[in-house]
Amino acid sequence: MTEAAQRRATAAKVAKWLLDKGRPDDAVQLLAAWAAMGPNDAEGQNLLAEAFRIDPSHAVAKLAFERMEGIAGDHSPLDAAIAKFGDGELTKLEGEMKRPNFRRAQVGFNNNVKYKGNVYHIQTEDSGLDKPHIITHCFADGGRIIKSHKRSYASEVNRDDVAMFVRALMKGQQMEMAIFLREGSFDEIIAGRAVGGMTTLESQPRAEVQKLATKKSDTVTVQKEPTIAPPPAEPVRPSVADARVRFRFHVLRSLTGGPDSYAVNLDEAIIGADGAIGLPGERFCHRREACVRAKDGRIWLEDFEAGNGVFLRIRTPVELGVGDEFIVGDQLLRVERNPTPNDGPDPGPTYFYSSPKWISSFRVVQVFEGGARGACVVAHGTTLQIGSAVGDLVFGNDPLVSEQHCLVEEQAGVIVLVDLDSRTGVFVRIKGLQELVHGDELLVGRTRLVLDLSNPSP
């Protein structure tokens, strides 16, 4: 398609948008102008035909027909329309058309959140551009509002991406309320010893959900140094022989023996039998499982997709997607979509009879050695808890799983994995390029490693 044809196609779309917005006169003038500006071909005729369909008696449309047919006369109203709806104005209108403009409130978020054995409901609502603010309520006891947060976005209503901005603000405020709840900020209110009420917030929401490189196309950097656990007691200190050590991995757990520490004096180190981090006897580690690189003072982990993967211990709540894998204790788990229900009537029709079903956002599937599927549990609403004694998915015979180990929940349209202060942590599979920092723990097969950058070489 030529550039002129593309612009005429744009003119047709913009005219339809103007018509939908109750501006038929502008729509006809724009169509007539772009029909008359170009050659009298099928594209121009289609634009003019649409103009006559909107208003068969419009003077500017009639003048456009005369000009296209070579009929002389006073066409000054048409020239005025051409000047008004030229290329610059068309581009401007196209931008306004693409802008997700809204007046009414956007659909909000509703989630249940578990905290100290109880279920709380968090609800976020938008009031629309006429009353530009976001309100989030936290409910307890089946309906008691314990806390409300309010943010205004009046200063942002003229943004071209205002709809996306508001959506992100709603999502962040929804997650922020869950963070405040789990931090214990509302404990006194829940106990009845303090009053909750409405708080107006002006800072950006605290949505401390980390994104890891769980997809091959992902590249994730660490924006700031998080609070880290110290490396193991009495770490191996550099000697004269390894003065050029770039980084070290201390072995926290191994079922097959091998060295207590790997001091890497290369810019790149392969994890696996073919590399510097050999993990001898680790049967779940490919010969070339992944690569750890030192570059420009930063450490990067890159998966090779050849084996079972490398898993990184999470420090904060982590965003997961469908198909992402994580490890709890010695259990490999995968997040999946729930299958489409097929329990409707048959051609008979005979209806399937069952116990009542609850709404479920996702499911978690256990994966056995060799890829076989084990236990499968659907989220109860938006929440699924994992542990050795308490939860929806219970591993009572795994000594590495804490009583209440972790939580997987859908928050504001995002699946979030939360470590409930477990003893052994939660590890998420890295498939892309992930930056590592001092104290990061990796799990390769059943071998746990901790990154030590406390004594880098000059």
Backbone angles phi, psi at 338, to 5 degrees: -75, 140
Rounded Cα–Cα distance for residues 271 and 277 (Å):
5
pLDDT at 381: 81
pLDDT at 116: 82
Determine contact, residues 48/19, Cβ cutoff 8 Å.
no
Q: Which amino acid is at 78?
A: L
pLDDT at 428: 97
Residue whose entry in the numeric block shows the structure tokens 């939660």? 426
- For 48: left if phi > 0, alpha if psi spans -120 to 50, otherwise beta; the answer is alpha
* Class level of CATH domain 315-424: mainly beta
pLDDT at 237: 45
Residues in the chain where the model's pLDDT stays below 70? 1, 99-107, 223-243, 341-345, 349, 351-354, 356-357, 455-458
Rounded Cα–Cα distance for residues 336 and 322 (Å):
5
The CATH 2.60.200.20 domain(s) of the chain lie at: 219-309+430-452
Q: Is the pTM of this model over 0.75?
A: no
Q: Which fold has domain 219-309+430-452?
A: Tumour Suppressor Smad4 (2.60.200)
Please state, in angstroms and as integers, the Cα–Cα distance from residue 82 to each residue in 45, 63, 92, 296, following that order: 16, 12, 15, 57
pLDDT at 185: 93
pLDDT in tens, 327-362: 999 999 999 999 876 666 677 767 666 676 677 889
Residue whose entry in the numeric block shows the structure tokens 């409300």? 148
Please state, in angstroms and as integers, the Cα–Cα distance from residue 319 to each residue in 17, 104, 170, 210, 412, following that order: 37, 30, 17, 6, 11
Neighbours of 394 (CB within 10 A): 18
Helix (H) or strand (E) holding 119: strand 118-126
pLDDT at 227: 44
pLDDT at 383: 86
